[in-house]
Structure formats: C-alpha cells, structure tokens
Structure 1
Amino acid sequence: MDLNPVLADTAYGEQSPLPSWSYMRDLKEQYDVSTVLRAAGALSLLYLDRSPKELMTLIRRLSQEAVDDFYQRHLQLQKIYQESWEIPKPRVLSYQELLQECQSRPDFAAVLAQIEQEGQESLKNGASYQEITIGNIQKILDFHDRKEALVIIAIAPPYYPSVNCRRLAESGIDIEKLISLYRDYLADTAGCRLNVEEFFMGICDISYCSLEKPLADYEQLLESMAVPRNLYSIDFPKIAAINVPGINLGPWGKDLHQLTERVFEKDMLETIPNFLLYLLENIAAIRLAER
C-alpha cells in the first residue's frame, strides 16, 4: 500500500500524492518475545477522481493479493521443511462484513452497544478517532473469537470527499468565466498573475459543499466506518441537496497549518476582500446561460 502508484489518482492534469502509512505498529500491550497476534495501520489516502466505492474495492483487491502471496509462500515453506501444519487461508473483510458475521449470535447487540459506549467515553477522555477505530475493531474481533488470520478494512474519521466544481451538474456557475474574471481583476488591480490549481492537496471544508458521485457510494462508505454515528457522522443527503460549487481563493501564504504559518497582509486585507465585492457586483457575468 505504502507509496503504491496504483492508488494514485489523476484528474485535470494533476496527480494526488502517493498514499503513505501515518500509523503502523503491533498491538502488544507490553514488550515480550512472543509472536505478534495483531497489528494495525492507518493509511492516509488522497483521491481526485475515483469514487469511494472504487477505492474500497481497489484497497480490498490489493490486500487480498498480499495475503494470497503470503499464503502461497507459507505452503511452499511447509514443503521445503516437510511440515504439515494446516491453517485456513487468510481472509479480507470490510468492517461491515465483520459485523455481519457476528450478528447471528444473540448477545451481539448488547456487546456492540457496550463497545460504542466505551468509544464515546474514550473520545471524551481525549482519544483520537484513529485510536477508537482500532480499539473497536479489536473488541469486535475478540467477540468474533475465531482462530484464523483476518485483514479488516475500515474507515477512520475524518473523511473529506474529493470535489472539483467543474464536474458539478446544475451548479449555475460557469467556472471558466469565473477564473477569467479573477485573472483579469488581479492583472488590472494588483499586477498579479493568477495560478490555478485544480485541487487543493489537503483537507478543506469545501469538500462538504457538494457531491460528485452517486449518493449511495458515500453512504456505503459510512457503513465501513468503525466508530458509531453518534460520535462521527456526515449528512451526505444534505450535502447533495446543497450542491454549491466551491473555489478556494486564498491569499499568498507559507507554512500552512504550522506554528510559523503566515499570509501576505495585502492579500488578506485588500486583494481578496475587494475581489469578493467585485464578484458580487458582476455575478451575472459568470452565470451559465438558461437552457
């Protein structure tokens, strides 16, 4: 998974950063020389064009290929050393599928409610969503209680949908005209040249202004989120109903989200605010023609 170009995404001539593990470790509570029974990792993934469903399918396929390769090597080593230990072939499950395998037991509903309550207390005590996600999966696996190798794929909050307003249907705004309006304004009033980036390669609240893909794709993603919805939830139907195109008109700055973050004062206090007023005065010029 780490730095795998298969997981990189491209759109409008731009490519997302390669994914990387922001967290990876075994889950031993103390150090000893025994074999690790469980391990967990958190993969930071930025996408531009694929749907959430496509991404989950791709991650699952890559995971299955990895465990299949491991299993074949295990069988080969058994032949070499003339061993005959039989172990089940490792499986890859989504968090939702793991829950489904537990639901046949009558006491599962009460156990799940207890796990969710403990997650709520953990959040109040300062635990991160990542820690709660890993903890919840471990508790479900304890309840699952089967001696087999499993890979569980889950989503840990926060989640920011990828969005590019060029792809929005019925937005009412001609994006090319808006860009031209801004470019001409900067050239005429500030002597500046506009640099257009199709995507902000980070997280931004503009992600919650509209949805590009079918609503069902996003709602299915929530089902693989291993924290209860009372702790973290996204109202995708409302976002789809808003359907507002968003553009980040940021001032020139440096060291975003760092202690040394700063912005160019003139941009912050003059250029950007004045353009927003100019935009309101000329909003009719960037509207799409009525069909």
Structure 2
Amino acid sequence: MFDEILDLTKKLVSIASVNTTPGEHDIACFIESYLRDIPYFKEHSNQVMIQKLKNDSLDRRNVFALIKGEKENSKDTIILHGHMDTVDVEDFGQLKEFAFDCDELMKKLKNINLSSEVREDLESGNWLFGRGACDMKSGVAVFMVILKYLSEKVKEIEGNILLSVNPVEENLHTGIIEGLEVLEDLKEKEKLNYIFAINNDYICPLYEGDTTKYVYTGAVGKILPCFYIQGRETHVAQCFEGFDASMVAAELVRLINLNPEFCDGYKGEFTLPPSVLKMKDLKPQYNVQTSFTSFLYFNYFIHNTSIKEILQKLKKAAKKSLDNVLEDINQNYKEYCKLTNVDYKKIGYETQVLEYEEVYELAKKAFDGNIDEYIDEITEKCINEKVDKREIPLEITKKLCEIAEIRIPTIVIFFAAPYCPHNTLKDEDKKEKRIYGEISEIVKEFSEKSNEEYKVMQFFPSLTDSSYLKIDDDDESLNLLTGNFPQYKKLYNVPLGTIKKLNIPAVNYGCYGKDAHKWTERVYMPYTFKVLPEFIIDTIEKYFEK
C-alpha cells in the first residue's frame, strides 16, 4: 500500500483545502470521486453518501462510505473518521506558493537555512513535507486506501466499516457536528451497532528523541470562558477616581494565563493550562477617558472536571482580580498622596462577579417587553453583519448589563464557541473498560509483531472531531454550560442529546509526524504509509473476530 498512499497523500495535499476557502469543497469532490471509482462502490453506489453542510456559502460537504461485510449478517460497525481541511499557509512566507506541492517544496527547502533536525529529516528521504501532509491528509489517504483494500474482501468480513471524512475541523467542527445526523440516520436505517471510531489525526513526539507511537482512547475537552468587565470611567486628569477595566483584564490574565493551578487531571494525565486568546478594551476610538469596559477569553482544556467546579474557580479568580486591582489602586494612591503632600483617604468600591444566567434574570425583570425576542433581534443583526461568534455573546451581555442598570465594577462570566466535549474510556463503565482492555491487548500484540514501541494514553492532547462522538459531562454540567452560553442554539448548537444517544467511543491511532501547523510540517512515511495501515487492518480483523 505504501506507494498508493504516498501518491494519494500528495494529491490530497495538492488541493488547497484551507479552512473557510473553496478548497474544502474541492477536496470533498476528489475524495468522493476516488471512492466511487472503487469497484465495490460502483456496484453499491448508494453506500457513498454526500451530506452538504446547511446554509454553507462554500458548498462544503461531508463524505461517507459504508462497506458491509458479507461473511455474517453482523451489524457491528467500526468508524474510520478524519478531517480534510488544513490551516492557512501564511507561515510559509516566500515558500507559500509551494506549500501544496510536496516535491517542489522539498526541493526549495534544500536551499534555505533549516534547523539541524529539520535538515536531517529532509535529507533522510523518509519525511514528506507540505501543508496538511501531517495534519491530516496522510491519515485520510491511509483510510481511503484501507477502504479500497477491505472492499475487495467483503466476503471475509463479519462486520461493517464506515468512513467519515469531514471539513471545518480546524475551527468550528461544523462538519462532524452536522455529520452526526448521518451517523444517527444510518444507525436507525441499517440497524448499525457502532463499536468505536478510529481517528487518524496526527501523533507526534512528546519530547526530544521520543520515538514512541501513542494511541489515545479519548479526546481533551475545550471551553471558551469569556469575561466582560465593567469598571468605572474617569478623565485621566482624575485617574484615581476611576476603576479601570483594562487593569482588571490584565490582572485576570496574570492570575489565569498559563497557570498550572487550572490544569485538569484524570488518572495521571493533565491538560495544558489556560491560554489567553483575546484581550481588549471596548473603547471605539481614542479619547482621554480611562477604560470603562474590557473583554477577554481563554482557551480552557478539560479532562474530567465539572463545569460547576470550573465556574467556581473562574469566579474566584475574577473576584480576586477585582480585589487586587482595588488594593493596587489604593497602594498607588497612597504613594501619590505622600508625593504631593495630600491627605490619603482609602478608595472603596463595591464589586461583584456574576454568571451570565444571573445577568439575564436581572435584565428580564427590568425589561419592558419580551427579553428573549430582544436578544434574538441582537443576534440576527450581528449574524447578518457577520460579527465574530465570540463578539455576539459579548454584545448581548453588554446590552443586558445596561438594561439591568449595573453600575458597580462587575465581571460577567459567560461561554462562547467553540465547545469541544471531553471523553475517554472509563473504568467506571463496564463496556468502556472492556473496550479499553481489548484495544490495549491489540496494541500490545501489534507492538510485538511490528517492533514498534506503543503507549496507550487516555486523551488526545490537541482538539479533535472525536470530541463530538461521545460526551462524558453529566446533565448538570451541560445545563450550566448552555445556560451561561448566550444564544447557544443559534450560535453553536452542538446536538448534545444526539451525541449522548450515539455515545461512540473514539480512539486515535494517527499518522506520525512533526510540526503540525508550522511551515516545516512533515509526515514520517515508513510508519504512516506502511506500519499504520497494517495496524488499523489488524485492529479491524481482530475486533470482528472477537
């Protein structure tokens, strides 16, 4: 399979399927064409299924293909799923025009300054460079060639194989989210029993010199906690009479950003700490008024902690930021009074931290009319004006604070898109514990057979579409999340009920590469194009034998 996977990977890379560009449509058409050219699917054309994304200006679509094993009338099904889009190529600089041409790019790389590791990999001839080669077009190519291989052996297969390739993974995961409808529909119509899904998103060394191949039995979760900060404005000539919202934002970043206290652990595996992704004051233009309002949000990874616990930690940090800023103002004012021989009088403010739900209730009581219709109007206006999906909840929160006549320094905490559920195979669930044991045994046997060193881990450390196949959050957490997510159903309507109903465990095998999302992105061909397909086929065969 090596040569065919290599050729197919190069062809997939050559299609510039950068997220939010027409290339996402083009690559789906290429994948569909490849599948329909397979003799099995020529005979069973209705088993290649295309789902166009709703109201999508780029005409992007999910591609599904189902192979039905004919040895026994088994409904057991293994899903092979991955994404077809990539990030942009601005990081390639002057090499940008070659980012989608693997062979030409590697020629150009030979003539520029590279790190010793990248240079060594390039000259070895074992690595394929190009945007998407690692993340994750080689992984999709492996699936496509495996499907072709298995289609020739349907009489020997007891179960079913369902391929799912989706766009829009690199930002909002819309492809897999809408694809849940197809998974649910196939489950009902074909009476399929989804055993688990295998994702082929890239795996990589976790430290210098690491050659271990990692198998992940779950997906890290992600929320986007947002903070709307309202202070008290003043003229810069009376700067100590205000409560600067930008100071509060800066203090919140200091308290939360990269702070290991916010890492979430589960059975010895820990998330990375939160990272600030946005921080700004909300002044529309220059003036000499201090900042009255500001806004920031964080990337926040989750392994197992409830939304209730996370909210408590975030509220505690928010309250501390308000207290620290007030203390800092007083300390500076005291020093200024000494400097200017003015009597010092302590500055005092009543402050508060509110969840969005609390602000909503305050505004609902104060509003003369239907508050939900008013919020809908704000939302529709913002959507029509193509306002960023993080800014729409901010605009709603600002308006509700005005209606509620909030006058004191306040932080409002809410959530915004995207939301990626966390999941893993847990010992507490007998079925999941059994699957974990079976996967671990298959990994162990294949490791001995292939002479590759493997390690089974619980959480894929990067964001992945596998998040949307299973949810470990309980109903209380989900209700708290959606209740504090302004216009959840209109802005990021992840079908939580459908995911709970499908409850598909997902493991990640993955193409092996380095530097995903960097201009030196590359995939290791000896493993990805030879060992990995054997590993996946071995898993499918052994699992259906069970």
RMSD (Å), alpha carbons: 2.6
Aligned-partner Cα distance in 1 for 2:516–2:357: 36
* Unpaired segments ≥5 residues, structure 1: 287-291
Task: Give the 5 Å matches for 1:37-186.
Answer: 37-71=292-326, 81-83=343-345, 87=349, 89-104=350-365, 105-107=367-369, 108-122=371-385, 125=386, 127-167=387-427, 169-171=429-431, 173-186=434-447
Structure number with greater CO (CA < 8 Å, separation at least 6) is: 2
Q: 2:422 is paired with a residue of what secondary structure?
A: coil
Match of 2:354, as an amino acid?
L
Q: 1:22 is paired with a residue of what secondary structure?
A: strand
Which of 448, 451, 476 matches 1:187?
448
Aligned-partner Cα distance in 2 for 1:221–1:193: 40
Aligned-partner Cα distance in 2 for 1:227–1:20: 24
Which of 270, 273, 276 matches 1:21?
276
State the 1:35 CA deviation: 0.8
State the 1:153 CA deviation: 0.4
Q: 2:302 is paired with a residue of what secondary structure?
A: coil
Aligned-partner Cα distance in 2 for 1:167–1:261: 36
CA pair 282-32 structure 1, distance change in 2 beyond 3 A: same
Q: Assess if the C-alpha contact under 8 Å between 1:46 and 1:201 holds in 2.
A: no
Task: Give the 5 Å matches for 1:214-253.
Answer: 214-253=474-513
User: 1:181-231, CA deviations, whole angstroms, 9 ceiling, x for partnerless residues?
Assistant: 12321431x321113333222211111222223223113201111344122
CA pair 73-261 structure 1, distance change in 2 beyond 3 A: closer
Match of 1:106, as an amino acid?
D
Aligned-partner Cα distance in 2 for 1:256–1:215: 35
Match of 1:148, as an amino acid?
I
State the 1:85 CA deviation: 6.7
Q: Assess if the C-alpha contact under 8 Å between 1:215 and 1:240 holds in 2.
A: no
Identity %: 21
User: 1:226-250, CA deviations, whole angstroms, 9 ceiling, x for partnerless residues?
Assistant: 3441221112222122222211111
User: 1:69-103, CA deviations, whole angstroms, 9 ceiling, x for partnerless residues?
Assistant: 4446667888985447764x111111111111100
Paired position in structure 2 for 1:289? none
Q: 1:201 is paired with a residue of what secondary structure?
A: coil
Aligned-partner Cα distance in 1 for 2:527–2:268: 27
Over alpha carbons, which structure has the higher Rg? 2
Aligned-partner Cα distance in 2 for 1:150–1:253: 46
Match of 2:541, as an amino acid?
E
Q: 2:290 is paired with a residue of what secondary structure?
A: coil
Aligned-partner Cα distance in 2 for 1:114–1:186: 58
Q: Assess if the C-alpha contact under 8 Å between 1:164 and 1:199 holds in 2.
A: yes
Q: Assess if the C-alpha contact under 8 Å between 2:271 and 2:301 holds in 1.
A: yes
Q: 1:119 is paired with a residue of what secondary structure?
A: helix
Q: Which has the higher strand share?
A: 2
* Unpaired segments ≥5 residues, structure 2: 1-255, 338-342
Give the TM-score normalised by structure 1. 0.85
Paired position in structure 1 for 2:108? none
